[in-house]
Structure 1
Amino acid sequence: MTQSNVYLRVNRVAAELCAKAREVTVADLHESTAHLGFTGLMSARMRRISPGAKIAGPAVTALCQPGDNLMMHRALRLAQPGDVLVVHSLGETSAAQWGDVATTYAVEKGLAGVVVHGCVRDVDQVLAMGFAVWATHVWPVHADKGKGGGVNIPIPCADVLVRPGDLIVADGDGVIAIPRAEAARVVDAAQAKMKKEAEFAAAIRGGAAVWELSGADKAYTQLGIVEHEAAFDDPA
């Protein structure tokens, strides 16, 4: 089989930047990546399993063979407090990559959360522990531990390439992976966008309408739409 590669060290995005990223939303980060020429926004299949959870931290990655989660466990053992474990199962629905035992260890170790391209299980127990989980599937099939793969290598996750140390931010809207070298610029731009939206909110509370604030009024006018001072089914 193909040689497995496990890298023991990760060049992580700075902890201070992760703290700033927790103050912004995935939506604002996504809208602040235009200069990159691509988006790190994961597919809509990636869903939050833990209600209310929001995380930001450096990626620790694991690539697992179908029906096996040995490499996830190796990555979990190497992960540090504040890390986000990002797992890709080559057999997406073949077996659960994550469950209650891994969650217990992750909580004790202080991980920020886990993002799984694949299945998770023991959801009730995981939620009771308050751990942050995103995944593409929930499925209770047990995983074996006997196949290789990779740890702390670039991996695909829900249509996005994730590199070890990248900034991972996840909330109720989804998950975004931002390259470590670009993370500061993207977070700063997202913070500026949130400040502008806060100004909009203050204006709305002062009586302004979203119709004008958003520019919808100008876009609507340019379309030359015909309005009628009547109901569509009024008698002729």
Structure 2
Amino acid sequence: MAALATAELCDANTTLLASGELRVLQPIFNIYGQCRVFSGPIVTLKVFEDNVLVRELLETRGDGRVLVIDGGGSMRCALVGGNLGQLAQNTRWAGILVNGCIRDVDEINGCDIGVRALASHPLKSNKKGKGEKHVSVHIGGEWIHDGEWLYADSDGILISKRELSM
């Protein structure tokens, strides 16, 4: 799939922006990973300072999907590290959006995936296995639903109710 620039998608889809079918996330995320531009259908996950379900989902075939993790915006530990970044690459996820922190930044930056997160933090998360998969999450000022589409590049992150084309 050819990379679609978020600015061009916004320019070409003013009607979808006005209706709320296309939304722009607040510019609060840092860019990590080798893929600066990525897109794909969304799989949602809601956890808090616990990454057992993150690993569980990343162990499944990604098939170009994007894992959107609502970590509650916690800045007290990391939900994704180098091992999970490598796992996501190996299982063919297009990217990961973390409403929280990552760690092992140099390792993640070596992975052939796109990652967006609020910050980095050296402390690993808990391992209790608590959280919810495939639920609506509120991140970056917008509700994001399982099965929607995410488009990310250096300009920002878009969420669309359906796959977009130019």
* Fold similarity call, TM over 0.5: yes
Residue 89 (structure 2) pairs with residue 107 (structure 1):
yes
The two structures have a TM-score, normalised by structure 1, of 0.63
After superposition, the Cα gap between the structure-2 partners of 1:51 and 1:112, relative to the gap in structure 1 and judged at 3 Å, is closer
> Given the alignment of the two structures, is residue 118 of structure 1 paired with residue 118 of structure 2, yes or no?
no
Structure 1 unmatched ranges of 5 or more: 1-18, 192-236
Give the root-mean-square deviation of aligned CA atoms.
Answer: 1.9
Other-structure match for 1:55: 38
Q: Which has the higher helix share?
A: 1
The change in CA–CA distance for 1:103 and 1:164 in structure 2 (over 3 A counts) is: same
1:59-208 → structure 2 map (5 Å cutoff): 59-65=42-48, 67-180=49-162, 183=163, 187-188=164-165, 191=166
- 1:44 paired with 2:27, answer yes
Which shifted more, 141-150 or 69-78? 69-78
Q: Distance in 2 between matches of 1:52 and 1:131?
A: 5
Once residues 135 and 59 of structure 2 are traced to their aligned partners in structure 1, the CA distance between those partners, rounded to angstroms, is 15
Contact 1:95 1:139 (C-alpha < 8 Å) held by counterparts? yes
TM normalised by structure 2 equals 0.87
Pair 147,129 (structure 1): closer, same or farther in 2 beyond 3 Å: closer
Answer yes or no: is the 8 Å Cα contact 1:169–1:177 preserved in 2.
Answer: yes
2:10 counterpart letter in structure 1: H
Among all aligned residue pairs of Structure 1 and Structure 2, give the percentage whose two residues are the same amino acid: 23
Q: Which has the larger radius of gyration?
A: 1
Change (3 A) 1:74 1:173: same
User: What are the Cα deviations for residues 82-113 of structure 1, in whole angstroms up to 9, with x where unaligned?
Assistant: 11111110252121111111011111111111
Deviations 1:123-148 (A, max 9, x none): 10111233321111121221011152
Structure 1 match to 2:15: 34
The amino acid that maps onto 1:25 is A
Contact 2:66–2:94, Cα closer than 8 Å, also in 1:
yes
Distance (whole Å) between structure 1 residues aligned to residue 109 and residue 64 of structure 2: 19
- CA distance in structure 2 between the aligned counterparts of 1:51 and 1:105, rounded to whole angstroms: 14
Partner deviation per Cα, 1:114-173 (whole Å, 9 max, x = no partner): 111110110101112333211111212210111522111111122221111111111111
1:27-66, CA deviations, whole angstroms, 9 ceiling, x for partnerless residues?
122332434423511111023223661111111111012x
Indicate the structure whose relative CO is greater, using CA pairs within 8 Å and at least 6 residues apart: 2
| Residues 61-83 of structure 1, C-alpha deviations (whole Å, 9 max, x = no match) | 11012x21223223323452211
Number of aligned residues: 163
Q: Higher strand fraction: Structure 1 or Structure 2?
A: 2
Quick one: which amino acid aligns to residue 53 of structure 1? R
